[in-house]
Each structure stands twice: as C-alpha cells, then as structure tokens.
Amino acid sequence: MITSVLVANRGEIACRIARTCRDLGIATVAVHSDADAGALHARVADTAVRLPGSAPADTYLRGDLIVKAALAAGADAVHPGYGFLSENADFARAVRDAGLVWIGPPPEAIEAMASKTRAKQLMGVAPLTDVTEADLPVLVKAAAGGGGRGMRVVRALADLDAEIAAARAEAASAFGDGEVFVEPYLENGRHVEVQVLADTHGTVWALGTRDCSLQRRHQKVIEEAPAPGLTDALTGELHTLAVRAARAVGYVGAGTVEFLVAGERAHFLEMNTRLQVEHPVTEEVFGVDLVAEQIRVAEGHALDPEPPAPRGHAVEARLYAEDPAHDWAPQTGRLHRLAVPGAVRLDTGYTDGDDIGVHYDPMLAKVVAHAPTRAEAVRKLAAALERAVIHGPVTNRDLLVRSLRHEEFTRARMDTGFYDRHLPALTAPAADPYAALAAALSDAHGRSRFGGWRNVPSQPQVKRYAVNGEEHKVRYRHTRTGLAADGVTVVHADAALVILEADGVHRRYEVARYGDRVHVGSTALTALPRFPAPEADHAPGSLLAPMPGTVVRIAEGVTEGAAVEAGRPLLWLEAMKMQHKITAPTAGTLTTLHAREGQQVELGTLLAVVEETP
C-alpha cells in the first residue's frame, strides 16, 4: 500500500492530487521552485522540498533532484501530474530504479506514445516530410509534450523554416526536447478525445468522449463530456481505436487518445500518456476519481470488468490570467480575491493574496459544471463565471461567459476555428455604464463631513477612470440628503456597496479597492489622477514589451541599421512557458535595438525602434 506520494508538479494539478491523497489517507510531499516558495501546492502538502532556481529547466524538469527529494522526504511513490516530466520515460525509470512506485504508465509505453512521430507510425499515420504548396496549411508540432507549446500553423511555404525554428526553440525550452514534425492542418475539424484507464490485469476502460474544440494557440479553453453530436457509430469507432492504442503499447493507468474529427471521419492525433487537464469533466460524468484510480492501479488493484455508466453532461472552462483582446497576452500581479459561487467544482492552485508570476502557465483555475443535460450544464457554468469575484490581473472570464452563450457553442456547432472567426466580437468592450459612477460614489462616501457639501450649490465633483483602455469621466454632487448624480437615484452608497436606481430598476454594485485599481462587480477600473502626470515619450515605431518576460532570441540579421518589412519577426519573448513573437510594426529601418538575448524585461520596456520608410 502506498503511504506517501511526492507530487512532481506545481499549481492546480499538484493541489488536486494532494486533495485525493488526503481523502485516501496518504501523506503528500510537494516540490517547489524559489518562485513557488509560497505557492498553494507547497502549503497544502504535508512536506515540501525546495528545488533551487525558478526556471522550469532548473527545477520541475530536473528528474534527478525530484527523485532525491522523494527519497529525502520518505515518499514511497511519485505522481507526475501533467506537463513537465509526466511523459518522460527516463524519469519514470529513474523513479522505479530508486525503489519508488511510479503512478503512471510503463516507461516503454511512454516511449512508444510520448513521441508523436512514433505514435503516428504505430497507428499507421505518417507525418509530412517534403511540404509543398499543395499541402498547406500545415501544423508544426513538438514531438514531445503538449499544451500548445512548440506548435505553429503555417499557411505560406516561405514561413515554414522560421516557424519550425521557433517551434523547436519553444519545445526545447518547455520539454527539454526540440524535435518537431509537420502534419496536415484541418481548418474546421473538431478536437475529440477518449479517456482510457487500464490496469495490470488486462482490463482497459474507454470512459466516453470529450470535446475540446474551443482552443487558443492550440491550448484548450473549454472542454466538455460527452462530445456532443457524435453518432453512436463514430463514438464506438473512437472507443475501439483508443482501446487499440492502449493495448498496442501495454498501457497501464490513465491516458488520453486524441482525434481530429471531420464529419464521420476520425484522424488520430496522439496519445497523451498522463492525466489530462480536462479530466474533471470525465470524473463528473462517470462518478469516478481518476487520481484515486491511478493510485489503486499502481498498487496492483484490478478494475471492474466494465466502467461505470455515464450520467448527465459536464463542461469545464479554464480561467486564465491573460488578455484575449490583446493577443492573449499573459498577465501577472497579485490575485486579491478569487471566489466562484454556485454548485460548481473549482480546481485551483491559488488563494486570495497569491502572486501570479512570469515563470509558469497563467491558468488560475478550472471551473466545472455538471447537470442532467448539456444545456443545463452550460447555463450553470456561464452563470457561475459571470458571478465570480476575481480581483487582480486581467482574466479571460468575460470571454468564457460569452463563448458559453454563443450560438455556435450552445447549438454544439463549434470547431477548432471558433476563436479565429469570433474573437473580435467576443472581446469587444462592454463595461457596465454605471460601474465608473459606482466607483466614484463609493470613493466619495463620507467625504461630505469634511467639506464635500456646500450650502451654496457649486460645480459637481469629477472623477476619471480607465475601463478597457478608454477613459470614463463621471460627475456627482454632495447634497443635504447625501450623494447625487444626474439620471439615477443613489439609493445607498458606502465604501463597499453602491445601490443605484435607473428607470425603476435597482442595481447593486459591490466595490473593492486595491491601490488605484477598483473592482465594481465584474468590471475592473483604474482610477486616474485628477491632474495626469506627463507620460514617458516614445518615438514613433517604438516596440514596447507587451508583458514581463525574457528575450530568448533575436532574429537572424536583425541589427541596428537593417531594413525590415512590416510584420517581420524581430525577436521572441518567453513568458509563462510560451514564446511570443515581436514583429516590426511598419516597413522601415531598425534605428535602435535595446533588447539583448537573455535580458529580463518588464511590461512596457523599450525593445527597439523602427523608423518608417517615407
């Protein structure tokens, strides 16, 4: 029997594994980088071991240090979670060689499937070698790992070499393996997958299907189970192929077989030899704890001959600290408050007051709703997200709510091109028209005692706020009976709550302040100074860092004085395990290059200046 598990991961999945271990009476050991010294996963574990450094390559990707930590802490098993070393066969062997139980598939199965090129060969699918115009568009894909890292869609043959180089660099940084391959890219396919679970006694379960078609940068955003709209015949074929893949490599434990579905055709993509981020939707539908089952299988227990019967529908949304309206730029800073109401499941690696840094994936939480029907589950999830209290950096919450309520999604007609078609509409600003007024009235609460009200009427008070990049100016007055504003009745106003009546409707606004940042309901505002300070002046054509990160590469031939074309890649920033391409804003001459490879930059740092050609 396993008595103590080291979780070789961080964040949400480490917390989720620790929760199941606690339920089973199993002690947990966390590992943490210096950047994660105060992280939730390190706090909830029974024991924590430091991995010196902050970069993944120095910490969570160091299998030797993790095995050493497990032995030092007295663990007798290792669970890899997802990402990092979860699909590293050498790490699995090192765990076993140290006398520890590996809660995962055999190293040989990982080797057979972890390389997507070998997996495709095993399933009779060959990647592209000599790409021609007729093959476009194509997808460049990392052979190891997942999560959208090391993936690039190429629509022009002239871009292929550069995108392959970029994908190799990103894959090497994220997974320690720069191998990539090229495959056809189907523009309007659906991403459908099958959860498998296998024991050491020959039983393999196919636990339904999941649809993961809503993706950004090849990372899943919304997932659901079962995949809607599939015929019984196609579902049966997917189950058969998934079980065949598992049996072909002697698979043990939890894994996922992924397909691209177009019409009634299923195209094998890959097998992920680990737990998936979206596993909760399968758990909710089948009433199983997949982590508990992984542990039971690792202990040698047999699965029942048949899996439990499915019930209802589940939908999961990934809540990210990112700005979808600005190229999905990851966000950093203090998460002051995170609370999701309603009867939904919340899997997170953060609590109130935690900091979101630049080193790791920006996913804050997974919010999961389960109901008897798909429509009910979607409605429940959208409502819970809409009412969620999220105080801190910009998130994709509004995008998630709008996506769940979009006609294509509610009618189950979505595909992997959903955000390519609808992103501008889904990210259009739609701030509450009374949010800025509520912020101003809340701030003004109690000021009349110190001279806000005058016996002789005077000019109204004016406050300025920035909302979604636009300035909003509001006016209000102190009167004998309290605060007042044109067009509305101020029913109540204090520092935390404002109630306004407009057109006979009462609107309640809960208000919270953190410095100059004000959260009014689901709207985030920035209080602007009464007399704006002069801003730093940047020359036209200046390229500013869109996020904090590290300059990992300067494009070949990019030097001061070089002529550049509009849109030409100049350099790459790495932030939160992803590489972000910085391109020339216009055709002209690169007059100044401030960026240097390896340089750490803050948001707004001047990277380069391109002087436009007249």
- Dihedral sign for Cα 176, 181, 182, 188, please: negative
Residue range 113-184 forms a domain whose CATH class is: alpha beta
pLDDT tens digits for 452-483? Answer: 555 555 578 999 999 887 888 999 998 888 89
Q: Which residues of the chain have pLDDT under 70?
A: 145-147, 446-458, 531-538, 576-577
Candidates 3.20.20.80, 3.40.50.300, 3.40.1110.10, 3.40.50.20; CATH matching 4-103: 3.40.50.20
274 is catalytic: yes
pLDDT tens digits for 392-404? Answer: 999 999 999 999 9
**pLDDT value at position 365?**
98
Q: How far apart are CA 574 and CA 56, in angstroms?
A: 12
Domains of the chain, by residue range, sit at 4-103, 113-184, 312-428, 435-528, 542-612
CB atoms within 10 A of CB 375: 12
Nearest of 14, 49, 111, 5 to residue 360 by alpha carbon: 14
Q: Three-state SS for 451? A: coil
CB atoms within 10 A of CB 207: 26
The fold of 435-528 is: Glycoprotein, Type 4 Pilin (3.30.700)
Q: Which of 62, 210, 274, 402 does the annotation list as catalytic? A: 274
Q: How far apart are CA 475 and CA 467, in angstroms?
A: 16
Specify the CATH number of the domain 542-612.
2.40.50.100
Superfamily of domain 312-428 in CATH is ATP-grasp fold, B domain (3.30.470.20)
Give the distance from CA 584 to its chain's centroid: 27
**Tokens 């409605």, residue located:** 379
**pLDDT value at position 455?**
56
Radius of gyration, alpha carbons of the chain: 26
